[in-house]
Structure 1
Amino acid sequence: MMNKQHTLHDIKLQPTFFENGQHATLLRYLDPDFINRFQQDIQQQRFNAIQFGRWLEEERHSQHDQHPVLRLPTHRAFHLICCEVICHRPGFPALDPQKIRSAGFVIRKEKPQGQQAWIIEEGEAVGWQSRQKPTADPDINRRLCPNGLLQKRSLSPVFSGEEVHPLHPIAVKDSKGKCRTLLFGYVPLGGFYYERSVQFDNSDVEDINQLAIANLPWPFGYADGTNKTWDSERDRIQINRGRPTPALAELLMQLVHRYHLGEHDRPDNQALETLCDQIYFYDPDAWMRYPMYLPKMQKMRTGMHNPFDFSRAELIPYYRTTSLIDYLRDCFADKEDNPLVRWAAQVGDMADAVGGLDRLGSIPALPAHNGQGSLSDSLAFTESQAESIRSTLGQRLRNLTLATSQEIPLPKFAQGPDDLFRIIPFVRSENDDRHEQITWADKNCQSTLFRVAATFDPEASRPSLIPMPSLRDLKRGLAKGASILTPGDTFSLVNSLKFKKGISEDTVSGNFDLGAGIQWICSFSLPVITIVAMILLMIMVSLLNIIFFWMPWVKVCLPFPKMPKGSDG
């Protein structure tokens, strides 16, 4: 029957026999051969070595509290967890390793409301989540099969549940000759996950909406910090015979650079494309080509310099030329030769030279979509279209933020004040009825609370020796070491650089063949690369030291003697 009770062979996890404290043993090794080192330390009972506990005092350098900080493999530090498994019977004999089906440990995050587990769903990490059944088997499929909810599969299912790291049994004897069964395993301190359920609350939505238009002038944003009212005479015409206003120029730069509006296969731009499809260029001289409509246009005159009203539907066929989105699409059709991108770069340089777009006396006319000449058309906005631009840009930035946040790997271990972690071992053993049972470590056999160092934590970093080459090495042998496979057009560009003219627009001669097909392998001398990197580093540090006074924290030079490699006797 499903509720059949089995006789359990009582198992218990406890701190190792050489551990004086009340926790599983955390060990730290500073060389990559740490597994062999550990096994030798256990067999030879070198329990007074620094890796058996004394190192913990060295690592209590957190800015938040006195919990030890575990270093990362990038710091050339490796950590092991070790505990002991016994039979919970008189004398506490060691558990026979043959009865261990598997063993492992989990890393839990300690929170005030309880522990959180690192959850895996279908092989993909989903992040820290509250554990509903902290003493159940961490493998969901393994948990459900013995309970009769799932049948065993011929193929192993993709793992789902709490992430598990393996523990390996090793049989040893203590100083009194008593047999001990230890479990040890490597503690991986890396990992990341992708946030798939990012959501914004109302305050986030409002902040992002403001950021989307914060740098755009009115009527497309509030760069001056005030909410202006619509002025049809001033705000309606945004392109006059090809020359955009500063506001529209900045809008176009944002649409092209940030969102690539008009580029093929950009589904996130659908809302902006629909809006720009309703905004048209018009020919300001259309009334001259259609004189039969001149009297009618004069009657509809609304104070504009040309005698027609571009809002009248019956006159649309005579003055509209193309929509804004069609113009952007035609520009992006040229791909890397997009004329609008070149125009934006030109205008950006001009604005930088005078201190901003609003200080330019006259902004150059927009280029024709084929790059041949400039536009002569004009473009106008209605008040509702400008308002739609502002709201649609906010939605587009929110979508971009969501998409970006879902693609950025977030680290498993953070360094905030609440980021405390604990290791909890467990063992799956075979009971007297040859069924599998899981035994978790109690509080006395869990690891001490710890933190995890950041990659660039100065307290966790260890010196890395990089030998510099001698100047005599520069002219020895051929230039070999770092080889770069270079396409023909890139090689022609690099080969045409003329540094004797200084670093300016004359550095590139322009006489390079973009259609060159042959590839080149360029090899550079490693001594040269190393020395050049050192010189550039010192130049940058010196420049930054003038502003930030970094030098006391950046460089320390000490004499280093030549150490003998061995003794003669």
Structure 2
Amino acid sequence: MTQAVKRPPQPLAIRASQAVSHGRAHPVCLTGLRHGSRAHEERPVIVERRDQEFVEGLLEDLADTGRHAAVLAMSPARSDGALRVFPPLQRVFNLLVLECFCDQPGQPRVAPDKIDSSGFVLRRVDGARRLAWLKAGNKVFGWEPVDEDLDPAHDRRGRAVLLGHPLLDALAPSQQRVRTAGSARLAASAVSVSEDVQPLFVAAPDVCAGAGKTLLFGTLKVVSGELTEATASAPAFGTDADERSALRADMVSYLLPGGARAFPVPAVRTIGTDDARRAAQTPLAASQPAFTRAEHDALYRTLGLLLLQLNNQYDAFGEGSGARALQAALQTLQVETDVPASGAQPARIDRRSAWQFVLDAKAVLFDAQPGATVSIPDRWGAVSPATGDAIFEASLVCMQQQFARLLPAGGRFDKGRNGAEPRFVVRAFVRLKPEHDGCPVRLVWSGYSEEFTIAPWFESSGAAVPVIPMPDLLDRNQLAKVKPSVAFALPPRLAQLLRGDPKDLMDGKGSGAPAIGLGWICSFSLPIITLCAFIVLNIFLSLFNLIFQWMAFLKICLPIPKAKE
């Protein structure tokens, strides 16, 4: 009697129950609207509509096969080899049109009741990759390379493996890839991410019947206020010689290597916060205080530019690593003050820390700290080549960190770092109901659409513009009918400032002194406010036209013809 051979226990994945096979499901195709063609590879069709009832207009055209050629001709115009899509602000609406059919003889259309759900995704073109906009709950990860054939919704993806227990399934590396949609950057993420999906609708039965096709359509969303949760990667400043040269040329001269540079020293060398405020509010033609308006303006054109660059562009007074490196370099510099001979003492040059001088000047000229003073030296001391290089290298780090603070996240449709317009494609899908009990929902993808760019909000589409009628400013009877329609509540100090002499405001004499505790409510007519803004706009357009020569593009005025009986 032969002894039975004992086999090792089979893994749970192999012992897991398997669905009964019903054979291969018949193939289904999802393509763009076809007219006079039976091709399987037609791209999703982007249709540009400019009618106000754009959905109703599209469906009416789709219901009539004789209009399908006209629908296909409604493609957005091309620019630089790609379609140019306008946002709805320009009164242009973009829709996606597809058809779903079985890849069998005669290509019969898929019955609408066989479609479980449908949608489409918008992906950003990045060389050979197409990036998906990924989310998890209320967290936005942004554009990521993914497995483009996975279901975009995490809760509709099948399990990669079945190991007999949900905890084991979740720990499997292949399941982790499914959870994160194949994103390499999110490979260690514990959350399941989904791609942003725009809805795709099956056309009404009468439309499908009239077209003899199962048609699907959706509105293409090309504007979004979404930002990525992660901090935007700041560009590395000064990565090539030309950029370094341009950034050096942009630096205030006091920060560049070279000999000592003079300051415009006022007659009263030590000035305080009140002196600076008084000089700034004194007209040049008026009687001047001890620290004059001309001296104040001269300091702002020199010392003021230095403070502006250090504070705003470099954030040199902050706590970042770049700011600390810049502070360390500036602390090695000195400012010089000439002291004439007096009594038995010979003439000499007093030197003190340039960094402390900068802090004192900022307290007076920028921060307006009460009681602060600064003594203006005769010169900013010499900057050695080594110190100049240290200042420059620190400024590059400062700008990179300042950039990250000012732009904390990337927008969904932002331009690239090089200013190039991003390109996008769309891809649609349908989920087909199971043909047999126990079978999973089947996901069918279309191909990608043509690449397209998105026009910025200010670019005109050529669509009809709304006309806003304005009241006749010179018709007092008409003006009497234009009653105030909006009110502003003013706090006491602002009310006192605005109730003062307008000429004082123009001369910079506005007072921020405390006022009595009475606020004011001022009512205005919105049409009159609009009219005032329109008049001011025309004045400035004319002035700036001397520089930009833009009037031929920005303003078109036509007479309104008198209606004929």
What TM bracket, shorter-length normalisation? Answer: 0.5 to 0.7
Deviation at 1:551, TM superposition (A): 3.3
Q: Secondary structure at the match of 1:458?
A: coil
Letter in 1 for 2:479: K
- Supply the distance in 2 between the matched residues of 1:11 and 1:497 (Cα, whole angstroms): 81
What are the within-5 Å matches in structure 2 for residues 178-257 of structure 1?
A: 180-191=213-224, 193=227, 196-200=232-236, 203-204=239-240, 207-208=243-244, 211=247, 214-217=250-253, 220-221=255-256, 228=258, 234=260, 250-257=305-312
Shift of 1:118: 3.0
How far is the alpha carbon of 1:188 from its aligned partner? 0.5
Distance in 2, Cα, partners of 1:479 & 1:245: 45
Describe the superposition over 1:194-223 as per-residue Cα deviations: whole angstroms up to 9, x where unpaired: 5723442762588358615633225x216x
Aligned residues: 484
Aligned 8 A contact 2:333 2:383 in 1? no
Q: Which moved more, 1:370-379 or 1:141-150?
A: 370-379
Tell me the equivalent position of 2:131. 117
Output the CA distance in 1 between the equivalents of 2:270 and 2:387. Answer: 20
Q: What is the deviation of 1:129?
A: 4.9
Give the secondary-structure state (helix, strand or coil) at the position aligned to 2:443.
strand
Equivalent residue, structure 2, for 1:60: 77
1:341 pairs with one of 355, 361, 366: 366
Q: Which residue of 2 aligns with 1:483?
A: 487
Partner Cα distance (1:524, 1:201) in 2:
49
- 1:411-430 matched pairs, under 5 angstroms: 411-412=413-414, 419-430=422-433
Equivalent-residue separation in structure 1 for 2:413 and 2:67 (angstroms): 35
CA distance in 2, matches of 1:307, 1:424: 74
Q: What amino acid is aligned across from residue 74 of structure 2 in structure 1?
A: W
Whole-angstrom distance in 2 between the partners of 1:330 and 1:273: 14
Q: Distance in 2 between matches of 1:145 and 1:193?
A: 30
How far residue 426 of structure 1 moved from its aligned partner, in angstroms, is: 0.9
Question: Is this contact kept in 1: 2:90–2:460, CA < 8 A?
Answer: no
Distance change in 2, residues 1:144/1:563 (3 Å): farther
The whole-number CA distance in structure 2 between the counterparts of 1:342 and 1:524 is 35
How far is the alpha carbon of 1:528 from its aligned partner?
Answer: 1.5
- The reply on whether 1:81 has 2:96 as its aligned counterpart is yes
Q: Structure 1-normalised TM-score?
A: 0.67
User: Taking structure 1 as reference, are residues 55 and 93 closer, same or farther at Cα in structure 2, changes over 3 Å only?
Assistant: closer
Cα distance, 1:526 vs structure 2: 2.2
Q: Structure 2 vs 1, CA of residues 440 and 46 (structure 1 numbering), >3 Å: closer, same or farther?
A: closer
Alpha carbons of structure 1 residues 84 and 525: separation in structure 2 relative to 1, 3 Å: same
C-alpha displacement of 1:428? 1.9
- Relative to structure 1, the CA distance from residue 279 to residue 410 in structure 2 (aligned partners, 3 Å threshold; closer, same or farther) is farther
Map of 2:199 onto structure 1: 166
Q: Does 1:440 align with 2:442?
A: no
Amino acid across the alignment from 1:436: V
For residues 99-127 of structure 1, the C-alpha deviation after alignment (integer angstroms, 9 at most, x for no partner) is 4332111224456x534123325455555
Tell whether the 8 Å contact from 2:95 to 2:218 is kept in structure 1 after alignment: yes
| 2:208–2:214 CA contact under 8 A, matched in 1 | no
Q: Give the root-mean-square deviation of aligned CA atoms.
A: 5.0
Match of 1:137 in 2: 151
Quick check: 1:458 aligned with 2:473? no
* Gap regions ≥5 residues in structure 2: 1-11, 163-168, 176-189, 272-298
TM-fit CA distance, 1:74:
1.0
1:446-497 CA distance string (max 9 Å, x none): 5344443232323455423222223347522464234334333222222214
Bigger drift between 8-17 and 419-428 goes to: 8-17
Contact 2:134 2:144 in 1 (8 A): no
Say whether the 8 Å CA contact 2:431–2:441 is kept in structure 1. yes
Q: Which amino acid aligns with 1:399?
A: Q
Cα distance in 1 for partners of 2:45, 2:308 equals 59
Structure 1 counterpart of 2:287:
none
Cα contact 2:486–2:526 (8 A) shared by 1:
yes
Q: Given the superposition, is the C-alpha separation of residues 116 and 460 from structure 1 closer, same or farther in structure 2, using an over 3 Å criterion?
A: farther
Q: CA deviation at 1:540?
A: 2.5
Name the residue aligned to 2:3: none
Question: What residue is the counterpart of 1:359 in the other structure?
Answer: none
Match of 1:13 in 2: 29
SS for the counterpart of 1:189 is coil
Q: Tell me the distance in 2 between the aligned counterparts of 1:392 and 1:216.
A: 15
| Distance in 2 separating the partners of 1:108 and 1:305 | 73
Look up the equivalent residue of 2:253 and give its one-letter code. Answer: P
> Quick check: 2:64–2:211 contact (8 Å CA) kept in 1?
no
Tell me the SS of whatever aligns to 2:203: strand
Distance 2:557 2:316 in 1: 53
Matched residue type, 2:364? P
Indicate whether 1:271 and 2:325 are aligned. yes
- Deviation per residue, 1:508-529 (Å, 9 max, x gap): 5545644555443332212312
The residue number in structure 2 matching 1:25 is 45
Task: For residue 67 of structure 2, give the secondary structure of its aligned residue in structure 1.
Answer: coil
For structure 1, which runs of at least 5 residues remain unmatched after alignment?
223-227, 295-303, 311-319, 333-337, 344-367, 565-569
- Give the direction of change, closer, same or farther, for the CA distance of 1:190–1:124 in structure 2 (3 Å limit): farther
Superposed, which structure 2 residues align to 1:283-432 within 5 Å?
A: 305-306=347-348, 338-341=363-366, 370-371=371-372, 374=375, 383=384, 388-407=390-409, 409=411, 411-412=413-414, 419-431=422-434, 432=436
Alignment match, 1:316: none
* Alpha-carbon distance change, 178 to 97 in structure 1, aligned in 2, over 3 angstroms: same
Residues of 2 paired with 1:235 and 1:541: CA distance?
Answer: 40
CA distance in 1, matches of 2:462, 2:332: 58
Aligned-partner Cα distance in 1 for 2:361–2:243: 32
Measured in 1, the distance between the counterparts of 2:546 and 2:264 equals 45
Deviations along 1:316-346, whole A, 9 cap, x unmatched? xxxx8xx6666666777xxxxx423289xxx
Change (3 A) 1:483 1:34: farther
Distance 1:257 1:474, change over 3 A: farther
User: Is contact 2:98–2:215 with CA below 8 Å preserved after alignment?
Assistant: yes
Distance 2:349 2:248 in 1: 37
- Tell me the TM-score normalized by structure 2: 0.67
| Residue in structure 2 matched with residue 101 of structure 1 by the alignment | 116
Cα drift, residue 183 of structure 1: 2.1
Q: Contact 1:474/1:528 (CA < 8 Å) preserved in 2?
A: no
Check whether the contact 2:431–2:443 (CA below 8 A) recurs between aligned residues.
Answer: yes
Equivalent AA in structure 2 for residue 29 of structure 1: R
Paired position in structure 1 for 2:178: none
Give the SS at the match of 1:427: strand
1:358 aligns to what? none
- Equivalent position SS for 2:205: strand
SS at match of 1:203: coil
Tell me: CA distance 1:518–1:275, structure 2 relative to 1, closer, same or farther (3 Å): farther
8 Å CA contact 2:208, 2:215 repeated in 1: no
Q: Percent identity?
A: 22
Q: 1:523 to 1:546 in 2, by over 3 A?
A: same
